[in-house]
Amino acid sequence: MRILVIEDELKVARFLKKGLEAEGYEVETAGDGKSGEKLARTEAFDLILLDVLLPKKDGFEILRDLRKDEIRIPILMLTARSTTEDIVGGLDQGADDYLTKPFAFTELLARIRSLMRRGTVKTKLKYQDLLLDTIAHKASRCGKPIELTAREYALLEYLMRNRGKLVSRQELSKEIWGYNFDPGTNVVDVYVNHLRNKIDSDFTVKLLQTERGKGYYLSEKKMTFKPAKGTATGKFA
């Protein structure tokens, strides 16, 4: 499970990262509102821990803008503000839970487990102007319906759930086709090209990108990837 911590207090961020990683969670941190929101929009997370008082953009603004754009990642607000108005305001804007500082780490873990039990599988995936309804199995871009085969749909869903991350041909072969990768076949490349034609050909901004010899990823711009084992995490060039 992957958690994004948006917190400007360095000691608090380090404490949360260390504690959550000790519990088996994968954790990314951001020290200001703008960089945190960018991560929330471009990478895949199962939960966001969001402070309210942040530099560059406060937590309530981030919450409002993410929800406005149909980004439904569970969000747990962390703040020293404990008035009823602040709590109600955060929940009304789309927060899933609200924890006031200072708090016991064990309580935070309990809140996280509670949110996960509510169900975190997203029924609508959105990246930029590309929308995928995982219940109806329908895709659209800028409101224009996109007809996909079952395999193309599965491929797009996997890429959208891993947006901003480099996904190798081997990984796609295993996850979508269910067999070990055969370097002699180009079936993955063929399906990716079919999918690219359907989601990108009519639009100026291209979303399905290729990292030659390594794999594919969803992004509105080219990214650079650090050498790493398995799937690499990219940063914007």
Domain boundary among 117, 139, 155: 117
Per-residue pLDDT tens digits of the chain, which is 237 residues long: 789 999 999 999 999 999 999 988 889 999 999 999 999 888 878 899 999 889 999 988 999 999 888 787 889 998 877 666 667 766 777 788 888 888 899 999 998 888 877 754 556 788 889 998 876 778 999 999 999 988 898 899 899 988 888 999 888 888 887 766 566 678 889 999 999 999 999 999 999 999 988 899 998 877 766 654 444 444 433
CATH assignment at residue 169: 1.10.10.10
> How many CB atoms lie under 10 A from the CB of residue 143?
7
Residues 8 and 106 occupy one common structural domain: yes
Residues 69 and 146 occupy one common structural domain: no
CA distance 16 to 7: 9
Radius of gyration of the chain (CA): 19
Q: Are 22 and 66 within 8 A, CB to CB?
A: no
Residue 69: partners with Cβ closer than 8 Å, 6 or more residues away:
41, 126
At which residue do the structure tokens 């064990």 appear? Answer: 106
Residues 73 and 105 occupy one common structural domain: yes
For residue 11, what are the CA distances in angstroms to 15, 38, 232? 6, 22, 28
For residue 181, what are the CA distances in angstroms to 190, 215, 228? 14, 13, 19
How many distinct structural domains can be found in the chain? Answer: 2
Backbone φ and ψ of 104, nearest 5°: -80, 135
